[in-house]
Amino acid sequence: MTLGQAKERLKQLLDESRPKADLTGKFNLFLDMGQKEVALYYPIYRVKEYAADSPRALPEDFYRGCQIVAEGNWFPYDATAALPAGAFALRYEARPADIPENAADSMVLDLPEEAAPAVIFYAAAQCNSMEYDQRFF
């Protein structure tokens, strides 16, 4: 799902609740927050292949390791151990990419398609929670 599609569905949801304030300028922020929150419960799995002579650095979007596959054998990822020598594949949970405020509507959300509605509901809840905030300070 693209950012533009998510914004359109979010507008449809908010049209039903009719918030008083116009929060369309904060949609990218709310969708970014939602994507990061949903990724905690519906992880984004990725695989990085390491060649025998490649440097042993974790990927930029690494959140939590899952398994290491070396020579056809599966091993659990151990954060305290060094990455193995030789060729192997690292299966890991990734952090979703940030959605900047000036992101294009063609940007694709990192979460799988089935998790996208949860992000939209999260963003709609943020819009409505700001609407009914009763704190006086």
For range 105-132, the mean pLDDT: 88
Q: What's the longest Cα–Cα distance across the chain?
A: 62
132: confidence class by pLDDT, cuts 50, 70, 90: low
- What per-residue string of b and e applies to 19-47 under the rule 16 or more CB within 10 Å gives b? eeeebeebbbebbbbbbbebbeeebbebe
Indicate if the pLDDT at residue 46 is higher than 90.
yes
Q: What sign does the dihedral 123-125-128-130 (CA atoms) show?
A: negative
Q: What sign does the dihedral 43-105-32-10 (CA atoms) show?
A: negative
40: confidence class by pLDDT, cuts 50, 70, 90: very high
Global confidence as pTM:
0.81
Least confident of 12-16, 51-55, 66-70, 94-98: 12-16
Given this model, what pLDDT does residue 130 score?
Answer: 62
22: confidence class by pLDDT, cuts 50, 70, 90: confident
38: confidence class by pLDDT, cuts 50, 70, 90: very high
Least confident of 49-53, 95-99, 130-134: 130-134
